[in-house]
């Protein structure tokens, strides 16, 4: 390992101090390093060539932003947690550097996470639009600011599942199964699973069961509404949706990579404590 980047949350008051601490450790090991806001793609992306590892300073949201910009590039991420639950982060803020030094010494393992390919089709002001995204966590089709249900017709491999009269519906990866999908009543999947989740959000007089789908299944969600609606990509990209908009979702060939020091079983060992809120960090 020769070059390591630090992508930090620009609004967290504790980021600068922890970033300096990480930079000092990297310098002590004779490693080239760079620093950038995780929110600034134009600043972040030029650093990628030749980078062997990216340390994120923040929470899971910071990791999702960096993963979105990496877009499946084979650079692993290790998260240093300044957030709350930290399902994706690896190093607690109070760590004295032992875990990072272990990773730099080659004692970690590569955790490859499944992603989604999402294609949005809609007509805006009489003009057809198509946009594509690669997603690590989830894609959510949901109502907008007005608290009225929308209709989302869900199909799998061309077969209609149901029309959800609901706040919306989402498709999640195994990584996203501990996020919004969990809050909406979905199951938790093994982090290395390639299965997909289809989960309605607060359905009213329509099917409320989440579905676990095979990675070869193709999902389509079509919107019917007279009210404002939105599409959310990994919780930080938001797009206004119009009546008739649809998304097609399938498993991606791309992967997001994480470099970890805790063994795979640590996910289960820490799960109960995290869901009980025992790992919440103080927020500034």
Which positions are catalytic?
60
* Residue 280 CB neighbour total at 10 angstroms: 12
| Secondary structure of residue 138 in the 3-state scheme | strand
In whole angstroms, how far apart are CA 197 and each of 16, 88, 172, 208, 265?
A: 37, 18, 5, 13, 22
26-41 residues labelled b (16+ CB within 10 A) or e (exposed): beeeebebbbbbbbee
**Cα four-point dihedral sign 230, 139, 256, 29:** positive
* Residue 108 CB neighbour total at 10 angstroms: 20
For residues 152 and 142, the answer to whether their CB atoms sit within 8 Å is: no
**Which of these, 123, 152, 124, lies nearest to 225 by C-alpha position?**
152
């Amino acid at each position: 390992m020769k070059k390591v980047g630090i992508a930090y949350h620009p609004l967290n008051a504790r980021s600068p101090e922890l970033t300096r601490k990480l930079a000092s450790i990297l310098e002590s090991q004779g490693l080239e390093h760079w620093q950038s806001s995780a929110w600034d793609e134009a600043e972040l992306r030029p650093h990628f060539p030749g980078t062997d590892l990216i340390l994120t300073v923040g929470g899971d949201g910071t990791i999702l932003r960096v993963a979105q910009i990496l877009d499946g590039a084979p650079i692993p991420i290790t998260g240093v947690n300044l957030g709350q639950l930290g399902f994706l982060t690896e190093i607690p803020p109070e760590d004295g550097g032992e875990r990072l030094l272990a990773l730099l010494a080659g004692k970690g393992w590569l955790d490859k996470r499944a992603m989604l390919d999402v294609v949005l089709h809609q007509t805006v002001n009489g003009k057809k639009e198509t946009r594509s995204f690669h997603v690590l966590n989830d894609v959510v089709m949901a109502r907008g600011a007005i608290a009225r249900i929308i209709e989302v017709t869900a199909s799998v491999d061309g077969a209609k599942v149901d029309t959800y009269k609901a706040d919306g519906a989402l498709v999640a990866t195994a990584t996203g199964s501990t996020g919004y999908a969990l809050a909406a009543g979905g199951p938790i999947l093994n982090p290395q699973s390639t299965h997909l989740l289809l989960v309605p959000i607060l359905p009213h007089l329509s099917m409320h069961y989440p579905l676990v789908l095979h990675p070869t299944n193709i999902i389509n969600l079509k919107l019917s509404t007279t009210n404002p609606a939105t599409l959310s990509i990994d919780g930080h990209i938001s797009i206004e949706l119009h009546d008739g908009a649809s998304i097609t979702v399938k498993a991606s060939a791309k992967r997001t990579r994480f470099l970890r020091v805790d063994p795979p079983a640590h996910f289960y060992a820490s799960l109960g404590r995290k869901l009980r809120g025992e790992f919440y960090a103080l927020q500034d």
